A and B are shown apart, each in its own frame.
Chain A
């Protein structure tokens, strides 16, 4: 896999990721955030110096195996608790501002 160059983050990219993450960011904050994020990427990019050509990509650093559960119903039946923290609820449903396609 080719090593990624620590890339410059521009303000448009910051605006886009903020939008994808649903975080409200004022235009005035964008340059400072771009600089910080660029710094983080540059820091992580140090890892590119390691030759990983012969190493398989890994999804976890744990030396354990995935635990499995049996197919039994052991949970549920407390709908009032599930919706208890919702800003609005009606008839056992979460009630959210209308989202229609």
Chain B
């Protein structure tokens, strides 16, 4: 697809192109599990959220959770994908201690969602389309803890049976940057839809990364799959490491072996996963405990009508109706919370000013505090008050920045801070003229120089007046009045 030379990796023998596809496991937001009535909440005591179905006790039968089906369909609609009216659940067979049934209920040949697409937003403000191959529903496995005991692994089945959406992309990405943009955009769409909380620390979103390299224009090379990478930064590190490893292998006269690999976040490297060598024969077959999943047109159209405005549509609206540029608009829509905050802030105010104060000043403070917009100490209503004071000329731009810093630290309102600190901007001509007269009287030499043609001195005079007013004089007004007085 992309022939952008800047994305190619230079090597001794010439340039290489990196080809990346991602399989993302997204935990479905639901109260109960995919096929049982046990809870999905994070952080419960071990095995406290396990039903006999999840523990694979004999005679237990799975019954599908309506909301999990709805969430998968909504996600499919959000990815502009085909929704399959009939899909089938299969058993994927393998043995591992955290998989009590000896198989995972998944979807193989007939997934619930087929081909779709996703637009990624790149740093230079451009967008690019990445194909979605499919989305299917499946059960999560339990969790194994290997570091609690010298000879034992501990198994907690609370996660076993929780619904996952496996979202598979086409091998359309060509750099770590694009893979990062894909994950950020996918996470944003899931969060806008409310179908997955996107929390990577708690494992709600994990990625398997397929990487191969080729000469530009040639067919696909042999790929390696890096399993279960749980942060966007790690995905990008794993891609860079893996691409270098494969290029070095080939340049040394060797060849890439198709492998499953693990990413080690401590070293930033990948290594072969030994246990997977012979395990690729999953012997899928339709689960005899479950009938095909059939969706009616009414079910799908009902969900379609309930979809919220998604990031791309919101971005287009911000550009069209609020005249924001592509970069600002994509920053504002990247997180649902940011977009909501911005819309509340921009209501009845200048959108560009609101965008600048939000993404420049407030984001700066939030970064400093290590907080997200959702935990912002300054609400949109409070920041709005500050902008109103600024627009009304009650405070100067310089003072407004100080007031915001104070608001972030103290939680007080802009008005209260402006009043207690006496920061109200002086826009009264008489008061400012008084200050100007003092400055002119005290600096006869500079006045002489200015009048003799040294006009750049005007800035110095403005500075003196501002100083005399302790920063409160309206600088535009001071400038204008000074010009008149000095000319006379």
Which A residues form the contact surface with B (CB < 8 A)?
A: 19-20, 22, 59-60, 62, 64-77, 79, 82-83, 88, 90-101
CB of B154 within 8 Å of the partner chain = yes
Q: Is B389 at the interface (CB under 8 A from chain A)?
A: no
B190-198, B288-296, B340-348, B392-400: which one contacts chain A?
A: B288-296
Min C-beta distance of A72 to chain B, whole Å = 6
> Which A-chain residue is minimally distant from B278 (CB atoms)?
A19
The answer on a CB contact under 8 Å between B47 and A92 is yes
Known contacts A66-B293, A69-B66, A101 near B38 by CB under 8 Å: no
Q: Tell me whether B37 and A74 are in contact (CB under 8 A).
A: yes
> In the assembly, what is the distance between CA of A90 and CA of B152, in Å?
10
**Given known A-B contacts A60-B288, A67-B63, A97 and B31 have beta carbons under 8 A apart:** no
Shortest Cβ gap from B158 to chain A (Å): 9
Nearest Cβ distance between residue B137 and chain A, in whole angstroms?
13
Does B452 touch A at the CB level, under 8 Å? no
B30 interfacial contact with A, CB 8 Å: yes
Q: Is the CB of B36 within 8 A of A91?
A: no
Interface of A is mostly: loop
Considering the chains assembled together, what is the distance between the CA atoms of A40 and B274 in angstroms? 34
A82 x B55 contact (CB < 8 A) = yes
A91–B46 CB distance below 8 A? yes
B67 contacts A71, CB within 8 Å?
yes
Report the Cα distance A70→B68, complex, angstroms.
10
Number of interface residues of B (CB under 8 A): 56
Q: Which of A19, A83, A96 is in CB contact (< 8 Å) with B97?
A: A96
How many Å from the CB of A93 to the closest CB on chain B? Answer: 4
**B152/A96 in contact, CB under 8 A:** yes
Contact B36 A66 (CB under 8 A): no
| Chain B residues with CB below 8 A from A83, complex form | 47
Question: Footprint of A on B, CB under 8 Å?
Answer: 30-32, 36-39, 45-53, 55, 63-69, 88, 93, 95-97, 110, 144-146, 148-149, 151-157, 262, 273-275, 278, 281, 283, 286, 288, 290-294
When the two chains form their complex, are residues B31 and A98 in contact, meaning their CB atoms are under 8 A apart?
no
Which residues of A have CB within 8 Å of B49?
A: 76-77
- Give the distance in Å from the alpha carbon of A70 to the alpha carbon of B69 in the complex: 11
Q: Which residues of A sit under 8 angstroms from B52, Cβ to Cβ? A: 75
A98 to B153, CA, bound (A): 5
Partner of B154, one of A69, A72, A73, A94: A94
Contact B48 A79 (CB under 8 A): yes
Contact B291 A60 (CB under 8 A): yes
Of A73, A95, A100, the residue contacting B37 (CB under 8 A) is A73
The smallest C-beta distance from B182 to any residue of chain A, in angstroms, reads: 26
Complex: A75 Cα to B291 Cα, angstroms: 23
Decide if A88 touches B291 in the complex (CB within 8 Å): no
Closest to A80 in B: B47
Task: Please state if A98 and B151 are interface contacts (CB–CB under 8 Å).
Answer: yes
Are B51 and A76 neighbours in the complex by a CB distance under 8 Å? yes
Please name 27 pairs of A and B residues whose Cβ atoms are closer than 8 Å in the assembled complex, sorted by A: A59-B110, A59-B292, A60-B291, A65-B291, A66-B290, A66-B294, A67-B63, A68-B65, A68-B66, A69-B32, A69-B64, A71-B30, A71-B31, A71-B65, A71-B67, A72-B31, A73-B31, A77-B49, A92-B45, A92-B48, A93-B46, A93-B47, A97-B153, A98-B149, A98-B151, A99-B97, A101-B275
Complex-state Cα separation, A32 to B93, whole angstroms: 25
- Pick the residue among A20, A59, A71, A100 that contacts B66 (CB under 8 A): A71
Closest Cβ neighbor of A57 among chain B residues: B109
Chain B residues whose C-beta falls within 8 Å of the C-beta of A98 in the assembled complex: 146, 149, 151-153
- B152 and A97 within 8 A (CB): yes
What's the Cα separation between A19 and B286 when bound, in Å? 22
Q: Can you name 4 extra interface pairs (CB under 8 A) apart from A66-B64, A76-B48? A: A59-B286, A76-B39, A97-B152, A98-B152
Taking a contact as CB atoms under 8 Å apart, the answer to whether A96 and B153 are in contact is yes
Task: Please give the distance in Å from B345's CB to the nearest CB on chain A.
Answer: 35
B154 touches A99 (CB 8 A): no
Q: In the complex the two chains form, is A79's CB within 8 Å of B50's CB?
A: yes
* B155 engages A94 (CB within 8 Å): yes
Q: Which of A59, A66, A71, A92 contacts B46 (CB 8 A)?
A: A92
